[in-house]
Structure 1
């Protein structure tokens, strides 16, 4: 799909820039990459990536606000997974590009 640059409204421009902002942070990239294969709780993400729980929660909130991740509740635990196939494919291709270079 080709997009005419004159068709981009302010809301679309903002969302695109926020998505790239989300993908410009190494911690958020690590979290999204981890979520590519399965869902994780905040504690599991923190433990797997050796991050503080508060850091993970903060980054997940940012990603959730952009609809890049979603969660489901199981008892008192929240399990996060990715919510946007397009962004995940872009991330995967970018990682493959960086490895290939």
Structure 2
């Protein structure tokens, strides 16, 4: 009876660990995809800022338009930084799930 309970507890622990590892791997993959998208948005917003600066230089854009493009770029960079932090946290969770790190 005691050995059966120990076996059940062991199997539950293994299933829980496999689930945690699987969840962490899926989360890391999704965050990597989101990070690639965010990197593309940062590149496009960088180009938009450069174009707005050129347009402003030749009096084809207002300074407000330049500031708006810079604000959009900053927001894209902040979103990218947040995704990178989330991905690092997910990697840490994965590391802990496979038995590394500390409790």
| Shorter-chain TM band | 0.3 to 0.5
Bigger-Rg structure (1/2): 2
What TM-score do you get using the length of structure 1 for normalisation?
A: 0.33
- Going by fraction, where is strand more abundant, 1 or 2? 1
- Going by fraction, where is helix more abundant, 1 or 2? 2
What TM-score do you get using the length of structure 2 for normalisation?
A: 0.32
By relative contact order (CA 8 Å, sep 6+), the higher-ranking structure is: 2
